[in-house]
């Protein structure tokens, strides 16, 4: 598979033009430090909507379009990690100042949302793998910057 395309206006790449329904989303919240704060939403037609708030390369809104194999990879990511079998929340505060994330996934009439505080030691590794995997599939670094870019800017974006 090729790298995700540069941000562009949404198109459906041959999918059902009426399928602009939410497939998956991820929002990442603040921490004590320079954690990127943003939301990314992926729709069944392959369109991606991003909104960056703080400590990100691109603040505000941006869009892109995923190829069909990338949409399929998202379905496989969530299903392969048993997303629908996970708890609805992992929010115990075993340590403080960690970021939080909220994911949602919608497929075949099933809907689930999970809140995840990254200071909860009981949260399964599968949940972080889903969050990080979704970021990778959509090519989030084009909008939030690479780890090195974020380190270099130390929150001055």
Give me the domains of the chain, ranges plus CATH numbers.
Answer: 22-147 (3.30.1560.10)
The pLDDT value recorded for residue 6 is 44
pLDDT digits (tens, 9 = 90+) for 56-98: 999 999 999 999 999 999 999 999 999 999 999 999 999 999 9
Asked if pLDDT for residue 109 goes beyond 90, the answer is yes
Q: Measured between alpha carbons, how far is 150 from 129 in angstroms, rounded to an integer?
A: 21
Are the CB atoms for 45 and 76 separated by under 8 Å? no
**Percentage of residues in the chain having pLDDT higher than 70:** 88
The pLDDT value recorded for residue 79 is 99
Choose among 57, 59, 61, 54: nearest CA to 34. 54
* CB burial readout 105-117, b (16+ within 10 A) else e: bbbeeeeeebbbb
The pLDDT value recorded for residue 155 is 64
Beta-carbon contacts of residue 99 (< 8 Å; ≥ 6 apart): 28, 29, 30, 31, 35, 118
pTM: 0.87
């Amino acid at each position: 598979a090729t790298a995700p395309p540069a941000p562009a206006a949404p198109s459906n790449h041959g999918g059902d033009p009426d399928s602009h329904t939410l497939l998956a989303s991820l929002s990442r919240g603040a921490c004590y430090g320079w954690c990127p704060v943003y939301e990314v939403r992926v729709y069944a037609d392959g369109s991606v909507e991003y909104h960056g708030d703080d400590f990100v390369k691109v603040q505000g809104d941006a869009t892109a379009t995923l190829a069909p194999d990338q949409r399929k990879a998202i379905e496989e990511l969530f299903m392969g990690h048993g997303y629908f079998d996970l708890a609805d929340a992992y929010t115990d505060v075993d340590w403080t100042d960690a970021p939080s994330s909220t994911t949602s996934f919608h497929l075949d009439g099933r809907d689930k949302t999970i809140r995840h505080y990254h200071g909860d030691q009981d949260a399964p590794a599968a949940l972080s793998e889903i969050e990080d995997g979704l970021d990778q599939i959509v090519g989030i670094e084009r909008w939030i910057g690479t780890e090195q870019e974020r380190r270099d800017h130390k929150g001055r974006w």
